[in-house]
Amino acid sequence: MNELSHLKGKTVLVTGASGFIGSHLVDSLLSLNCVIHCLVRESSDLRWLPSPKIHLHFIDLAQPDFKVPGLEAINYVFHCAGLTKAKSRKEYFDINSRVCSTLYEQCLTYKDSIKGIVHLSSLAAAGPSEDGNQIDETTPLNPITFYGKSKKSGEEIALKYSVSLPIKVIRPPVVYGPREEIFMPFLN
């Protein structure tokens, strides 16, 4: 946890806080005594966010004009919200891409107080490796699914805003464990 010690006591915003990665991130941030603001949907399962130290903001990111409350007090943003399942290409791009523009545009107003933004992407944005070669950050992106293409688009938006905002894009591999509801059932 030493690599996160600079976050101790800071005010953070977590999108996608009720999800698998987001809820575990919130646990870590609570252990650092952070002031945590979470953007969640009215329909979100909040069972992993019971702490009175968490400020829940019920925001529907699908609304094009959503506003992030209290952004002026935020030191760090963890953008973990995203759709892993959708009924259409448009739905994937609406949440995994368009939301990034709306969020980062609002962050620009407070760029002097925001010390860091982590944009959570996906290995699917890179697409499969060609000829079994290892993929790294220099490999051209070649996603093959609507999900992967929408995550690539979100990365491109984050990188565009990184000229003015302290954004870092991370692409975790397949992640699973307690609380995960898509991959874990196959292992049980």
Looking at residue 181, its pLDDT comes to 62
Q: In this predicted structure, which of 44-48, 73-77, 123-127 has the lowest mean pLDDT?
A: 44-48
Residue 149, pLDDT above cutoff 90: yes
- pLDDT number for residue 177: 61
CATH number for the domain including 168? 3.40.50.720
Domain housing 82: 2-187
Write the pLDDT tens digit of every residue in 120-133: 999 999 999 887 78
The predicted pLDDT at position 180 comes to 61
User: Which pLDDT belongs to residue 1?
Assistant: 45
pTM of the model: 0.90
3-state secondary structure of 31: helix
Which of the four pLDDT bands, split at 50, 70 and 90, describes residue 134? confident
Domain count along the chain: 1
More confident residue, 133 or 34: 34
CA-based torsion, 57, 94, 149, 86: positive or negative: positive
Q: What is the pLDDT of residues 48-63, one digit of tens each?
A: 898 788 999 999 999 9
Average of per-residue pLDDT across 90-105: 96
Segment 133-139 shows an average pLDDT of: 84
**pLDDT on residue 50:** 80
Q: In whole angstroms, give the CA distance from residue 101 to residue 160.
A: 10
The tokens of 103 are what?
């969020």
What DSSP string runs through the chain?
-GGGGGGTT-EEEEETTTSHHHHHHHHHHHHTT-EEEEEE-TT---TT---TTEEEEE--TTSTT---TTGGG-SEEEE----SS-SSHHHHHIIIIIHHHHHHHHHHTTTTT--EEEEE--GGGT-PPSTTPPP-TTSPP---SHHHHHHHHHHHHHHHHTTTS-EEEE---S--STT--SSHHHH-
